[in-house]
Chains A and B, each alone.
Chain A
Amino acid sequence: MFPAHFDYVRPATVEEAVKLLAKHGDDAKLLTGGHSLIPAMKLRLARPQVVVDIGRIANLSYIRETGGAIAIGAMTTHADIEASKTLRDKSPLLAETASHIGDAQVRNKGTIGGSLVHADPAADYPASILALDAEIDVVGPRGKRTIKAVDFFVDLLQSAVAADEIVTEIRVPATAKTVAYVKTEQKASGFALAGAAVVIGPGGVRVGITGVAATAYRAAGVEKALAGQTSLTPDLIARASAQAAAGVDALGDIHASPEFRAHLAQVNTRRAIEKALTRA
């Protein structure tokens, strides 16, 4: 399986990369870890004429504390996020989520920026990014802007990042330890049939769901049912979790029917809330 021919360019800076994207327009594609793009190019689902490799822009791979937030460079690999002590101590949900992605080799190459922009409906990070209310910085010919997690996932395989823009940083708040990500995976690839990410904080419970619909979403029904509740009893958790796929157009394919995905969303939401509470 050979991808179609392409020209390869390796800019040294984000500014150079932005210029290259502006110059080549729709003919160009960014490459970081390559673990979504290269499989697509082999199948010739993607045939860029110019591949702009930004995977080596060194100063875009970092995890550091800034005020009450943790800033993560877009080119940080899943393996580095999984292993990060800063994240494990200050905001453990993303590290836990990363440990569920694919396998060790995939985690060594894939990056958080690439995963978010690819916006695979079965990717793991989107659930956690939503539950964490993360912010995503992008840079393009019109300068820099910040996208909120709730506005980021637009449609199937479509994020709010324009073709001429580059994700540079993801910021997540420092949280309590009461977080959890629970997923049912498709056995061959590891992708989520349904994954639920939960953050339980002073402001209430936030729930992000991936794998179920064309895009990951916040489970508004669950969050509402738990709002203002001081004691999260098993009964209340079960009733709230039943809303995990309410009003959602669930996907069906050879791996799982829409009904099964919706059911898994409910079960995994309940399990994630219960698991988060055990970490209090």
Chain B
Amino acid sequence: MVSNLAHDKARAIAEAVPDPELPVLTLGDLGIIRDVAASGTGVEVTITPTYSGCPAMNTMGMDISLALAEAGFGPVRIKTTLSPAWTTDWISAEGRAKLQAFGIAPPGPRGNDAPVACPLCGSTNTGEISHFGSTACKALWRCLACREPFDHFKCH
């Protein structure tokens, strides 16, 4: 018999794991953790992959397994589910605030062409330099007010 407490604890540990490429975000902030099920035979964590080609997905699974093992949970099984597809709408409000504070313009709501505000000075006088940035999730933008380049977490 596994208590609800163990479930909650396992879930909290999995959600607190930092994103390997954007360590200001936790996996909980990113919204990829669908389910955490602790039972007498171990823990099963279900995650939704972000981008098809995101090379961080394997690392995320490993980091979750390690964090749970360190807290005494095990064995850990990582299950991925494709449907429904992950969307940036699942990034938490706290996650968006962290991105902003880190200098990355957070994604706007899907299907809404809201202007992208510069994370440094707040101006919306901005423009895209390249659709493709340093990772699959980011595009390269620049601010025409303060002249600084910045990353924008793409709406997906």
Do A and B pair up? The answer is no
